[in-house]
Structure 1
Amino acid sequence: MGISEKAKQNYEELFPGRKSALHDTDPELMEIFDNFAFDEVLEYGNLDTRTRMIAILASLIAQPALSQYKIMLDAALNAGVTPVEIKEIVYQSTQYVGMARTLDFLNATNDLFKSRGVKLPLEGQTAVTPETAFDKGRALLNSVFGEMIEENYQKAPGSQKHIQHYLFGNCFGKYYTRSGLDIKMRELVTFAFLSSMGGCEPQLKSHIKGNLRVGNDKETLLSVLTQLLPYLGYPRMFNALACVNEVIPENT
């Protein structure tokens, strides 16, 4: 059967002139994978190439899949994802996977940027000061998640109040307010993080609601899961799909 012409064309757009050694050592696997990732799943969904690559990068960080990330990072730049956008995905990942996991991806990103002549550090994207981070994060959280967030903060036991404070001031105040990615894209990135990590279904459901509030509808979320499937596998995809269907039933 071979690799389809459409898969070859889409592969070449992302990886001009590049051929993986696996095409020689494991041609049957690469035929199945390339036809799926670069042809079949592209038949479904409403994502442009840039958004698809942003979601894939976020997923690969969350899994974590460093070798595949390095490959797709180069493709993302070829597809027009900017260095600032990529850095914001990596920075935001620290709030979901922790710096211990993010560090390898940050170093890999810097190495590739340097090899492609991207001058570091990039232009700063900070939008708050230490004095304003809490209030701006609180306002942003309330705008995305509504009264539930404020209720959780007010009801938190005294011994746990500091954690809610960090959520407002650190996670949303110092990360989500940054420029480089708008809130609509940041919530889509978070959806990709949580879907790919597994075991975060309560948080995933909350962020599905958040995605809806910022304008990412069910078709968009299904499109993300479809594009992640070749890299994520079926079990975590089905877990995330179940969360989407629970929050947004098919008849709504």
Structure 2
Amino acid sequence: MKKLLYSTILLLTLFITATLANAQETDSLSKQQESIVQIAALTGKGALPALATQLHIGLDVGLTINQIKEVIIHTYAYAGFPRSIRGLQTLLTVLQDREAKGIKDKLGAEASPIRSNAPKYDRGKAILDSLLGTPQNGPQTGYSAFAPTIEIFLKEHLFADIFERDVLTYAERELVTIAVLNSIGGVEPMLRSHFGICLNVGLTAAQLKQFITVIESTIGEKESQDAQKVLDEVLKS
């Protein structure tokens, strides 16, 4: 009887410990997620020497070459082709340096081909609806009504061509997005929207608060303070 009681208590203790560990893990960005934020922010900022250092760290903590490529490609949607291409050039230099030193980095999975025959606009809209957690079926307003062409580009290109790709999860793509938006500054409405999407795709408030800390150590106190103000508004609402 005592042995049975002891075994029961032991199993219960192990269960509680595992549960708490999982909860703690969920409330923290992984080393790979932190590195995704840092790579995206530095690419968006155009801080290439610091980016080169962070690319080494990202590879060392287990990001694959294709994951990092995808992070840097994703940044172009928010910071433009010049920043993204310079980031890719920096990655290429880092990989050549590591190869010369005998370091074999994991290539990782390539992006899967898109099989859907649905129009890109419809696919992009469905992805955006999923990210926002609610269908956007009302009449166009604001910039979308003022310039419908950019609303079409947004659905067909950003959300169909880019977000529809795999390699990175929606949560990882959102970390890239908020990191770049924060690094370029002056786009608080978009940052606010994407903080909300982060919560919709499974990132926690604690992880977003950790994001602020990572931003401060990566690109500066001003940027982290700007992000903190926007995040506070999102969490209060």
TM-score range relative to shorter protein: 0.7 to 0.9
The AA in structure 1 aligned to 2:121 is F
Instruction: Quote the residue 2:178 is aligned against.
Output: 191
127, 133, 141: which one pairs with 1:140? 127
Q: Within 1, Cα distance between the matches of 2:147 and 2:112?
A: 30
Q: Distance in 2 between matches of 1:80 and 1:220?
A: 20
- Residue 212 of structure 2 corresponds to 225
State the partner residue of 1:206: 193
Residue 11 of structure 2: aligned partner: none
Mapped contact 2:39–2:51 kept (Cα < 8 A): yes
Report the more deviating stretch, 140-149 or 200-209. 140-149
Number of the residue aligned with 2:151: 164
Contact 1:58-1:193 within 8 A present in 2 as well: yes
CA 135–75 in structure 1, closer or farther in 2 if over 3 Å, else same? same
- Could you say if the C-alpha distance between residues 118 and 132 of structure 1 is closer, same or farther in structure 2, counting changes exceeding 3 Å? farther
Structure 2: runs of 5+ lacking an equivalent: 1-26
Structure 1 position 178 matched with structure 2 position 160: no
Residue type of the alignment partner of 1:75: I
Contact map agreement 1:128 1:177 (CA 8 A) in 2? no
**Which 5+ residue runs of structure 1 have no aligned equivalent?**
1-44
Quote the residue 1:215 is aligned against.
Answer: 202
Alpha-carbon distance change, 111 to 194 in structure 1, aligned in 2, over 3 angstroms:
same
Cα distance in 1, alignment partners of residues 79 and 113 from structure 2: 21
Please say if 1:86 is aligned against 2:68: yes
Identity %: 27
Partners of 1:46 and 1:119 lie apart in 2 by 25
Matched, 1:58 2:43: no
The residue number in structure 2 matching 1:77 is 59
Change (3 A) 1:243 1:126: farther
Provide the rounded CA distance (Å) in 2 between the counterparts of 1:118 and 1:48.
Answer: 19
SS of residue in 1 equivalent to 2:50: helix
Inter-partner Cα distance in structure 2 for 1:130 and 1:67: 43
Structure with bigger gyration radius: 2
Q: 1:113 to 1:150 in 2, by over 3 A?
A: farther
The residue that corresponds to 1:234 in the other structure is: 221
- Judging changes above 3 Å, is the alpha-carbon distance between structure 1 residues 69 and 150 closer, same or farther for their aligned structure 2 residues? farther
Deviation at 1:112, TM superposition (A): 2.3
CA distance in 1, matches of 2:92, 2:211: 26
Taking the TM superposition and a 5 Å limit, the aligned residue runs for 1:100-115 are 100-115=82-97
Report how far residue 161 of structure 1 moved: 1.1
Change (3 A) 1:119 1:217: closer
- Give the letter aligned to residue 36 of structure 2: I
- 1:12 aligned residue: none
Deviates most, 110-119 or 170-179: 110-119
Distance in 2 separating the partners of 1:146 and 1:86? 27
Whose relative contact order is higher, 1 or 2, with alpha carbons under 8 Å and at least 6 apart? 2
* Equivalent AA in structure 2 for residue 184 of structure 1: A
- Between the two proteins, the alignment pairs up a number of residues equal to 205
Distance change (3 Å), C-alpha of 1:126 and 1:195: farther
